[in-house]
Structure 1
Amino acid sequence: IIFAVAALTDTLDGMIARKYNLITDFGKFMDPLADKVLVCSGLICFVELRQLSSVIVLIVIAREFIISGIRLVASDNGVVIAAAMSGKLKTVVQMVTVILLILNLPKLSLVTNIFIILMLFLTIFSLCEYIIKNKNVIMSSK
């Protein structure tokens, strides 16, 4: 329940910020960071419970570190990288996946497995998209 409430408040926070034009550079940086902490901590728990492969979680965590590194380099160059749609979709799918894993319902095991695969695909896809879109920021750091 706590995870679901945290995920819901994150969604509402974003909707309110956009509706009332309260989007800030701080929010563009901190909101994805909070999402990473929420999702990754949940996923790590499922590795410990042996409900999720550590390889999948390592891919997710590696992606988050890489994107954070790109954002840090961009920030040093005065550029703020907002979350791309693929990254937002990835986060939603990750949160739904964690909720499905928490529920651990046998009737939903196929759906849960589909979401795990979708989460992995979107994690890799969004990483590639961020790298391609921001290659100029990455190259300027060398």
Structure 2
Amino acid sequence: MNLPNKLTVSRFALTAIFLWAVFSRSPINDTLALVFFCIASITDLLDGIIARRRNLITSFGKLMDPLADKILVCSAFIALVERGRLNPSTPVTVEAWMVVIIVARELAITGMRLLAAAQNVVLAAERWGKHKTISQIVAIIALLVMDAHVEWWPWLQAVFKLWIVYFTRGALWIAVLLTALSGCIYLWRNRDVYMKDT
């Protein structure tokens, strides 16, 4: 197994560790969750860069890399919905309907890619999809920072307290809107794939 694929596989393990941290009873559990999510996100960036630069692109990587991304992001949003239910006083909560949109989009696009593969058609990634992924990661990190900063030094808490709630609320809404928009654009531009069988 080459290095990019090892990084991809590590993301599955990091997702499990992240979920443990989110619900652990450690006094610094929010900070741990933030750290593990950031590490997992960095592996997502690195595996693609290394695979392209070293010409290590494999069928395994093409399949498992986007799957690992989807599991990480969807797991994080679902966990944050549950966290909000357990702690309703949090200033910004992830609503269940938001996660339904995010998960439904990922399932729809994955299903269409499988349909395209059955037709021997390769669907290229689009910039809207990349913007969507970045916005989701930024929103999750912002949500985690919002919870974690209360575990930090008082002066650092004061710095984040000034803006983190407003930034988090905006980042979450942008992520949801970009998720829905990118999904609609992708489905429309590649409509020939699913129109063939109708």
TM-score, scaled relative to structure 2:
0.67
In structure 2, the gaps of 5 or more residues are 1-34, 85-92, 150-160
Once superposed, what is the RMSD of the aligned Cα atoms?
1.5
Q: Which residue number corresponds to residue 89 of structure 2?
A: none
The aligned amino acid for 2:73 is V
Q: 1:84 to 1:71 in 2, by over 3 A?
A: same
Give the stretch that moved more between structures: 10-19 or 32-41: 10-19
TM-score, scaled relative to structure 1:
0.91
Q: How does 1:1-142 map to 2 (within 5 A)?
A: 1-50=35-84, 51-104=93-146, 105=149, 106=161, 107-142=163-198
- Rg (Cα) greater in structure: 2
Aligned-pair CA distance for 1:79:
1.7
SS in 1 for 2:101: helix
The aligned amino acid for 1:45 is A
Taking CA–CA contacts closer than 8 Å with sequence separation of 6 or more, which of the two structures ends up with the larger relative contact order? 1
Aligned-pair CA distance for 1:25:
4.5
Among all aligned residue pairs of Structure 1 and Structure 2, give the percentage whose two residues are the same amino acid.
44
In structure 1, the gaps of 5 or more residues are none
Aligned-pair CA distance for 1:94:
0.7
SS in 1 for 2:170: helix
The aligned amino acid for 1:75 is A
Give the stretch that moved more between structures: 78-87 or 65-74: 78-87
Q: Deviations over 1:39-89 (max 9, x none)?
A: 000000110011210111110001011101101101111122232111112
Give the stretch that moved more between structures: 30-39 or 79-88: 79-88
User: Aligned pairs, how many?
Assistant: 142
